[in-house]
Amino acid sequence: MTADPETTLRADARRNRDQIIAAARAIFAVSGPEAPMEEIARAAGVGVGTLYRRFPDREALIRAVAADNFERVLRDARAAAAEKPTAWLALEWLLHHSVELQLSVQLAMLSPRALTILKTDPQIRQYRAELMDLLAGLVAGAQDEGVLRPDVAAGDIAMMCAVLMRQVRAKSEDVARMAAQRCVGVMLDGLRAIPGTPLPGRALTTEDLEMVRQQQ
């Protein structure tokens, strides 16, 4: 049976798109979203013309990478919430294993252009809202379990991730990944409900995060 040329063309186009997004994700994580488009095309194994046919400008590529990233993070969060025996273990797994979360933070923190896209794109905003709702549920569940300290909220954890991951940049991807994991480990120890220094102020909410973003 001969393959339908149109079906083959669609499959090729999809494969090219996926390769470009994967290459851009890896390069953005190391060099930031202003990396040369030619470098991304070369890493994806496609010509520059093919890249621009799929993504007519840098904004379109950043938007696609960010949307893909948030979708991956959300999928990881849902899987952890469904499969782990406790909310704390789900939260711990998510923070340790969701590498995509680190890139989303870097995109927002290191590029004004990327930050504007993250703040204004409807699909990305929807993904982010769903992720924050799920994170709030894990936080509440872990507090009910008595494992997570009671004086924090989802906004605190999101802010700590942003601050820690913003700093983790290195020429070696292995070193950057190891540093991020160590930072998350220290953060998780500080989040456990054990006797410790009371936190100043109050727990940060999702609304507080929006106020912070408005100042950036």
Q: What is the pLDDT of residue 106?
A: 65
* Domain end point (choices 18, 37, 56): 56
Cα–Cα nearest to 46, from 19, 75, 7, 66:
19
- Give the position of tokens 């989040």: 191
Check whether residue 159 and residue 71 sit in a common domain: yes
Could you say which of 29, 56, 83 is where a domain stops?
Answer: 56
In this prediction, residue 212 carries a pLDDT of 63
Amino acid identity of residue 65, one-letter, is V
Q: Which pLDDT score is estimated for 202?
A: 87
Q: For the domain that residue 204 is a member of, what is the CATH number?
A: 1.10.357.10
| Residue whose tokens read 């924090």 | 152
Does one domain contain both 181 and 80? yes
Q: Phi then psi for 179, rounded to 5 degrees?
A: -60, -40
pLDDT digits (tens, 9 = 90+) for 155-168: 998 888 777 766 55
Residues 124 and 169 in one domain: yes
Per residue in 68-110, pLDDT (tens digit) is 988 888 998 999 999 999 999 999 998 887 666 666 666 665 6
| Residues 83 and 183 occupy one common structural domain | yes
Give SS3 for 202: coil
Q: Given this model, what pLDDT does residue 177 score?
A: 67
- In 141-155, which positions are buried (b, 16+ CB within 10 angstroms) versus exposed (e)? bbbeeebbbeebbbb
Name which of 93, 118, 116, 90 is nearest 103 in CA terms: 118
pLDDT of 172: 59
Predicted local distance difference test score (pLDDT) of residue 145: 97
User: Domain check: are 49 and 65 in the same one?
Assistant: no
| 120-124, 183-187, 192-196, 207-211: least confident range | 207-211
Asked if residue 138 and residue 91 are part of one domain, the reply reads: yes
Check whether residue 36 and residue 68 sit in a common domain. no
Tokens of 112: 């004004």
For residues 94 and 80, is the Cβ–Cβ distance under 8 A? yes
- Whether pLDDT at 204 is above 90: no
Residue 41: the pLDDT is 96
For the packed helices 122-144 and 112-120, what is the interaxial angle rounded to 10 degrees?
Answer: 80
* pLDDT recorded at residue 170: 52
Note down the domain range covering 95. Answer: 59-214
User: What pLDDT is stored for residue 34 in this prediction?
Assistant: 87
Residue 13: CATH number of its domain: 1.10.10.60
pLDDT digits (tens, 9 = 90+) for 1-60: 455 555 665 788 889 999 999 999 888 877 888 899 999 999 999 999 999 999 999 999
- Give yes or no: residues 31 and 85 share one domain: no
> Total structural domains in the chain?
2
The answer on 182 and 80 residing in a single domain is yes
112-118 average pLDDT score: 81
